[in-house]
Structure 1
Amino acid sequence: MLCDLDNVIRFYDLAPLAELERAVGVAEGTTAEVAYAPEVDLPLLLGKITKETWVDSIASALSDQMPLTHARELGMALADAPFRADDVVVAMLRRVRRHMPLVLVTNATLELERDLESMGLADLADHVVSSARVGVAKPDQVIYEIAAERAGVAAHQCLFVDDRWENVEAAVSLGMTGVHYQGSTDLQKLLDFLPSN
C-alpha cells in the first residue's frame, strides 16, 4: 500500500493563520494561495530551498498587498502551523502494515523525518518516499515507480491513496489501484477484507 501523508494522515491547524490574515485585512486563504503556487512551493518540495527561503518567497509575493513585516509574519505562521496525526487513520495503517508493505509517498520538505518523529510516526511505514529526498514530486510518475520499487512489488500490485485527484490519476495511469481519499471511511472500506488481528 502506498499512502500520502498530508490531508490523509497529517492535518494542519490553520486557524491562527486565518486570524492573522483577518488582522492585516486580507482574505482567509490568501497566504496559502501564494505559498502553494508551483513557482513558490515546488523548489521547497524538491529539496532545493529551505523553509526559511520559502518564507522569504511568500513574504515577497505578499508584499504588494501589505507591509513586508506583516507579509513575513503570515509566511512564518503558515510555515510553523501546528499539525497532528489522525489517530484513526494511523491505527488503520498500522493494521495494514501487519499484512503488506506500507510506503508513505509524499510531497514534503527536508524536515519530514523530524516531523514524523514528533508525531510518533517514525516507524509507521516500511519506507518513506519524500519528494525532497528523491528530487521528484507527485504527480510525476517517477516518484510512484520509486515507491513501488521500495515496496518490492510491480506497479499493478500497488494500492495508492491520496487526497488529490491528479495524484491518484497518475498512479492509475501506471496500473495502480487508486483511492481518492476524502475521509477515514474510504480506508475502512478497503480494510474490511483484512484479518482483524
Structure 2
Amino acid sequence: MSGRPFDAVLCDLDNVIRFYDTAPLAELERAAGLAEGTTMNVAYAPDVDLPLLLGRITTEEWVDSIASALSGRVPQAYARRLGRALTDAPFRADDAVVTLLRQVKRHLPLVLVTNATLELERDLASMGLADLADHVVSSARVGVAKPDREIYEIAVRRAGTVAGRCLFVDDRPENVEAAVTLGMTGVHYREPADLRKALDFVFGAGGDAVTHV
C-alpha cells in the first residue's frame, strides 16, 4: 500500500457505527402531550449531558438531571420515566459499516473517537465490537470531548502518526471541522457510501474486495 494517502482512520461511533431506536421514547412523549424529541433536546443540552460525557456523573445521575429539566412539563415520576426510556433505548451496529472498518483495520490503525459514557466498553462488548478498533478514545475516559482539540490529539498519538496523515469520520459537521483545522482529512458521514468512497484507496490498492454499500 505504498503511496497511500492516510496512515490511520479515526472514526466516530454514534450515528456512524451505532444507531439507537428511540421509538419507545417517542411513544411516551406523545402519550404525555410532548413534542417528539423533547426529551433528547433537554438531555443533550450541554449543561445536562457534558458532565456525563466527561465521566463526571453516572447514567443514573444523568437521568436525574433530565427529570429535573423536564419538571413543570410532566409529573416528576413521568419525567424520570422519559429519562430512563432514553438511557435504555435499544441500539444496534450497522453491519455494512462494521464490515468496512474491519477490513480497513487489516491495513491501517483504526481508532474510535467518541463522546461516550463510562458504559462504552460494556456497550461495545454487547454489540460484539470490543475488538473492532486498535484503540478507543472515549471522552468519559480521557476527560475531554469533541470538538475540543485535545481529544483529537490524543487519538492521533494513539494511532502512532500525525494529524495530516489521518482520515477522520464523524456525523457532526462541527466535529469534522475541528479535525480539519488540525490538518486531518475530514469526512462528514451521512450514509455508508460516504465511508466506502473515502476508503476506496484501501480497497483499490490490494485490499480485500467488499460488498458495495
> Aligned partners of 2:139, 2:109: CA distance in 1, in Å?
19
> Aligned partners of 1:43, 1:191: CA distance in 2, in Å?
34
Gaps of 5+ in 2: 1-8, 209-213
Structure-2 residue corresponding to 1:138 = 146
Return the match for 2:65 from 57, 82, 90.
Answer: 57
> Aligned partners of 1:188, 1:25: CA distance in 2, in Å?
41
| Paired positions, count | 197
Structure-1 residue corresponding to 2:211 = none
Return the match for 1:40 from 48, 70, 83.
Answer: 48
Structure-1 residue corresponding to 2:178 = 170
Q: Identity of aligned pairs, percent?
A: 77
Return the match for 1:12 from 16, 20, 24.
Answer: 20
Runs of 4+ in 1 over 3 A off after TM superposition: none
Alignment of 1:105-120 (within 5 A): 105-120=113-128
What TM-score comes out, normalization by structure 2 length?
0.92
Structure 1 position 95, deviation (Å): 0.8
CA-based RMSD of the aligned residues comes to: 0.6
Return the match for 1:75 from 69, 83, 106.
Answer: 83
> Aligned partners of 1:131, 1:193: CA distance in 2, in Å?
30
Structure 1 position 63, deviation (Å): 1.1
What TM-score comes out, normalization by structure 1 length?
0.99
> Aligned partners of 2:43, 2:199: CA distance in 1, in Å?
35
Structure-2 residue corresponding to 1:150 = 158
> Aligned partners of 1:101, 1:192: CA distance in 2, in Å?
16
Structure-2 residue corresponding to 1:90 = 98
SS at match of 2:82: helix
Q: Please list the CA deviations of residues 15-44 of structure 1 after superposition, one character each: whole Å capped at 9, or x if unmatched.
A: 000000001110000000000000000000
Q: Please list the CA deviations of residues 109-166 of structure 1 after superposition, one character each: whole Å capped at 9, or x if unmatched.
A: 0000000000000000000000000000000000000000000000101100000000
- Pair 1:26 & 2:34 matched: yes
Structure-1 residue corresponding to 2:6 = none
> Aligned partners of 2:157, 2:113: CA distance in 1, in Å?
12
Q: Which amino acid aligns with 1:30?
A: T
Structure 1 position 190, deviation (Å): 1.7
> Aligned partners of 2:81, 2:31: CA distance in 1, in Å?
11
SS at match of 1:193: helix
Contact persistence 2:55–2:140 (CA under 8 A): yes
> Aligned partners of 1:6, 1:100: CA distance in 2, in Å?
21
> Aligned partners of 1:48, 1:5: CA distance in 2, in Å?
20
> Aligned partners of 2:120, 2:154: CA distance in 1, in Å?
18
